[in-house]
Chain A
C-alpha cells in the first residue's frame, strides 16, 4: 500500500510539474525537416549551400553536361550543344536533323522565360535575405552579396545576348492577390541598359570578391572583370556593326544600340581587360607548361589548377559529372561499347588553322593538275600547322589514352575507283589478291554509320584521358571553362584594334598565337577585322562563342546564308570573315592500292560532304534575337515582339 501511494505521489508530482511548463514552450517545437531563413542566414556554410544551388542554375548555351531544354523536361546532351553551325558533324542518327534542316526556328537559343525569372527572383531573394542577416560575419555577408550580384549580372548577360533587352528586375516582386497584375508587368529594358547594368554591377562588386586565382568555380575579382570585359565588347560591337543591319533593331532600343556608343564600350572593354592583364585580379597567365604545344593546349582544359582559367563550371566524382567523354571518345577503344564518337569537327573548322608562316591554305589534296597528292604518313598533310589544330581536333592517326585512332575511308584502286565497305573495320579481299585485309578504319568514316567519325575527325578538346572517364557510370570531371585568360587577351586585342591601335592589338594577339606555335609575330599592318574574327574562331572553338560572336558582328546572316557550300567555296577565302559555311564537310583519307605504282600504300585525301548533310544553315534576320513567346507577350502586353519575327 505504501508502495502504491509513493508511486502515485511521484506520478502526480511529475505530471503536475510537467504541467507547470508554459504551454507556449511546450508547443513550440523546432522542426527537424527544414531550416528557417534565419537559421540558414546565420551559418556561413548553410548560406553557401543556397549559393551553390544558385551557381548550379546558371545557363550556358554550350556546356559539357548540357542543359534542360526550354519549356520541356528533356536534357540537351552536352556534346550536341557544340554540334551546330557547320563547325562539326553530329554522328548520331537521332541528331542528323542538325545537318538536314534548312535553318533555325525563331525560338532557337531562347531561355525558358518562367525558369529564368524564377531564378532571377530567387537571386533577388537571396540578396535581400543576405543583406538582412544578422548572424553572418560582415566579411561573409559582403562576399555572398557580391557573389549573388555576380550571378544575377552574368545571367542577365546570358539573357541579353540571346534575347536583347528583357525586363531588368532587381528586387523581389510580390502579388497582392487583388486581381490587378499591372504593378508586376515591366517593359523590356533597352539593350544598352542591359549591358550598362552588367558593367556597373561588375565594377560595384569587383573589390568585394577575392583576388585569388585559385578561386575558379566561385566568383572572383577576375571573373567579374572578365564578364565586364566581354559584356562591354559585345555592346560595342552591336553598336558598331548593328549599323550595317538597320532592320535588326527596335525603335525603343530594346534591340540595337546607338552607333555613337561604340567607342565608349570599346574603352570599357579594354580597361577591364587591362586590369586583368596587369595582374590586379591575380597572376593570371596563359597555360604554358612546355612540351608538345598541341598537348599543352589540350591539357589547358584538363588541368583545373591552370593559371589561365578565370571562371569555370566544375565537376566532381561523387557529385556532378558529365558524359562528354563517354559520348565523344573514339569508337575503336571506347570504354562503353556503343557509346562514342558523336562530335566530329568539320573540315570547315580544321582548314581554318593557319600554317606556321601565318598564311591560310586548304589541306593540299590535289596538285595543280588535279592529280591526288600522296602522303607517306597519314598526318603528313596536317604538318606545319597551328598547334591548336591537333590540340582541338583528334586527327586521323592521332593518339588518345595511348592508343591510335583508326580513321580511313578505304582503298583507291589503280583506276581511281574506291574499294571500301559499309561496315567499319571490315575485312575484304582486294582485287587480284586472296587474303582478306581491312578495307576501312574501325573509327570510320562510313556514310551514315553513327558513333564513328563521319567527317574524318574526332573532338579532342575536353576529352578526358582519366581511366574510366568514358564509362557511363563514372563520367568525366573535366571542367567547362567559362572565362579564360586567352579570351581576355583576344578581347583586349579586338577592343584596341577597333579603337584604332592595331600595334597594341598585335601585341595581345601575338601572346595567344605564340603559345600555339605561331612564333612569327603579326605586325600592326597584319591586324584586320578578318584576323580578329579568325583568331577567336580557332582559339575558342567549341567554347560557346561562335554563335554569339557571329551575332554581335552581324556576320551570322552572311556566314550562314543558306546557299549550299560547294567544294570550291570550301577551299577558297579561308580567313575571310564573311566566308560562308553552311554545311559541315569532312576530309576522308584513302590508301592507294596499286602494286605497280611507286605510291602504292600511300595516303591520299578527298574532301567529302557526309551524305547525311542535306540541309544548309540559313540564319535569318529574325534569328538575331530569339523569340519571346506569345504566352509571355499575352501575359504582359508591355513586352514587345522581336524584330523580323
Chain B
C-alpha cells in the first residue's frame, strides 16, 4: 500500500509539471482603431447602429468579426497581426461605401503588425456644416447648413432634420428627452436651418443638456449628426 501511495505522488508531480507547460496562445494584442471620416472630418452617427465587418483570410471558414461604430464615428478592434479586410454592409450608414462593379461592398485592406490607426474614408450623402447650438430661457436652439455631398444619380433627399437633447452624452433618435422635427419638404433654405426645442422638466435637476442635430436621409435608416455639444439653458 505504501508503494502505491508513492506512485500516486510521482504521478501527481508529473501531471502538475505537465500543466506548467504553456498550454495557451497569447491573446490578440494589436489595436486597430480610427474613425469613419469624410475629408478628414469624423462622421457623427448614432451609437451601436452602423455596423462594419472585419474579415481575416486563411482560416477556412469565412465569418466576419461584426462591430458597430460609436457615436462619434470611432471604431476599434483588438486583433492578431495579419491581413484583414474591412467592409460596411450595403445599405448601412448615412454614407455611400465604395462598391465593386458587382454591387458588393468594396474592401479596405489592412495589414496589421502592431497597433495601427486607420481612418475609413466614405462619401456621406449630406454633411451638417457650421452647427451652432445655444441655450437660453429653457429652450435650446440649433442652426446649421445642410450641405449635399452626393449630387449624382445616387443623390437622396432629406427626409427630415431633428434637434435632439438628452441628459446624458448619448443623443440620438433612440436616446433623447425631447426632440423637434422639421420635415425635409418644409425646409425653406438648406443653408440656414433653425430648430428650437423646449427642455422638459428634468429629474434630478440639471442646468445643462447635451444636444445634437440629426439629419435623416430618405430611404436610409441611419442618420448623420452634428458633433455633440453641451448646452446650458
Instruction: Report which A residues bind B (CB closer than 8 A).
Output: 102, 246-247, 251, 557, 561-564, 616, 618, 620-622, 630-631, 633-635, 641, 643-645
**CB-CB nearest in chain B for A645:** B89
Give the distance in Å from the alpha carbon of A169 to the alpha carbon of B49 in the complex: 36
Contact of B90 among A557, A564, A618, A643 (CB under 8 A): A643
Contact of B92 among A563, A564, A634, A644 (CB under 8 A): A644
Residues from chain A with Cβ under 8 Å of B64 in the complex: 630
A102/B174 in contact, CB under 8 A: yes
Give the distance in Å from the alpha carbon of A641 to the alpha carbon of B104 in the complex: 11
B173/A621 in contact, CB under 8 A: no
Instruction: Report which B residues bind A (CB closer than 8 A).
Output: 49, 60-64, 89-92, 103, 173-174, 176, 179, 219-221
Cβ of A252 to closest chain B Cβ, rounded Å? 11
A563/B91 in contact, CB under 8 A: no
Give the distance in Å from the alpha carbon of A616 to the alpha carbon of B172 in the complex: 13
Cβ of A248 to closest chain B Cβ, rounded Å? 8
Cβ of A565 to closest chain B Cβ, rounded Å? 12
B173/A247 in contact, CB under 8 A: no
Residues from chain A with Cβ under 8 Å of B60 in the complex: 634
Residues from chain B with Cβ under 8 Å of A251 in the complex: 103
Residues from chain A with Cβ under 8 Å of B63 in the complex: 630-631, 633-634
Residues from chain A with Cβ under 8 Å of B176 in the complex: 564
B90/A644 in contact, CB under 8 A: yes
Cβ of A611 to closest chain B Cβ, rounded Å? 14
Cβ of A289 to closest chain B Cβ, rounded Å? 47
Cβ of B52 to closest chain A Cβ, rounded Å? 12
Given the contacts A246-B219, A633-B62, A634-B63, A562 and B91 also touching, CB distance less than 8 Å? no
List 22 A-B residue pairs with CB atoms under 8 Å apart, sorted by A's residue number: A102-B174, A247-B90, A247-B91, A247-B219, A247-B220, A557-B221, A563-B173, A563-B174, A564-B176, A616-B174, A620-B221, A621-B91, A622-B89, A622-B91, A622-B92, A630-B62, A630-B64, A634-B62, A634-B63, A641-B89, A644-B89, A645-B89
Residues from chain B with Cβ under 8 Å of A621 in the complex: 91, 221
* CB-CB nearest 7 A-B residue pairs: A630-B63, A634-B61, A644-B91, A247-B91, A562-B174, A102-B174, A634-B62
A618/B91 in contact, CB under 8 A: no
B61/A630 in contact, CB under 8 A: yes
Residues from chain A with Cβ under 8 Å of B62 in the complex: 630, 633-634
Cβ of B173 to closest chain A Cβ, rounded Å? 6
Apart from A630-B61, A635-B61, list 8 A-B contacts with CB within 8 A: A247-B90, A564-B176, A630-B62, A630-B64, A641-B89, A644-B90, A644-B91, A644-B92
Residues from chain B with Cβ under 8 Å of A622 in the complex: 89, 91-92
Give the distance in Å from the alpha carbon of A643 to the alpha carbon of B61 in the complex: 21
Give the distance in Å from the alpha carbon of A630 to the alpha carbon of B89 in the complex: 14
**CB-CB nearest in chain A for B179:** A563
Residues from chain B with Cβ under 8 Å of A563 in the complex: 173-174, 179
Residues from chain A with Cβ under 8 Å of B89 in the complex: 622, 641, 644-645
B90/A562 in contact, CB under 8 A: no
**CB-CB nearest in chain B for A618:** B174
Cβ of B90 to closest chain A Cβ, rounded Å? 7
Residues from chain B with Cβ under 8 Å of A634 in the complex: 60-63
**CB-CB nearest in chain A for B48:** A102
Give the distance in Å from the alpha carbon of A631 to the alpha carbon of B202 in the complex: 48
Cβ of A556 to closest chain B Cβ, rounded Å? 12
Residues from chain B with Cβ under 8 Å of A102 in the complex: 174
Give the distance in Å from the alpha carbon of A4 to the alpha carbon of B173 in the complex: 104
Cβ of A148 to closest chain B Cβ, rounded Å? 34
Give the distance in Å from the alpha carbon of A567 to the alpha carbon of B52 in the complex: 36
Give the distance in Å from the alpha carbon of A563 to the alpha carbon of B221 in the complex: 13
Give the distance in Å from the alpha carbon of A102 to the alpha carbon of B89 in the complex: 21
Residues from chain A with Cβ under 8 Å of B91 in the complex: 247, 621-622, 643-644
Cβ of B45 to closest chain A Cβ, rounded Å? 14
B92/A562 in contact, CB under 8 A: no
**CB-CB nearest in chain B for A248:** B91
**CB-CB nearest in chain B for A249:** B91
Give the distance in Å from the alpha carbon of A633 to the alpha carbon of B53 in the complex: 15
Cβ of B56 to closest chain A Cβ, rounded Å? 13
Residues from chain A with Cβ under 8 Å of B49 in the complex: 620
Residues from chain B with Cβ under 8 Å of A616 in the complex: 174
Residues from chain A with Cβ under 8 Å of B173 in the complex: 561-563
Cβ of A99 to closest chain B Cβ, rounded Å? 14
Residues from chain B with Cβ under 8 Å of A557 in the complex: 221
Give the distance in Å from the alpha carbon of A144 to the alpha carbon of B173 in the complex: 54
Cβ of B67 to closest chain A Cβ, rounded Å? 14
Cβ of A554 to closest chain B Cβ, rounded Å? 12
Give the distance in Å from the alpha carbon of A621 to the alpha carbon of B219 in the complex: 10
Residues from chain A with Cβ under 8 Å of B179 in the complex: 563
Residues from chain B with Cβ under 8 Å of A564 in the complex: 176
Give the distance in Å from the alpha carbon of A66 to the alpha carbon of B123 in the complex: 46
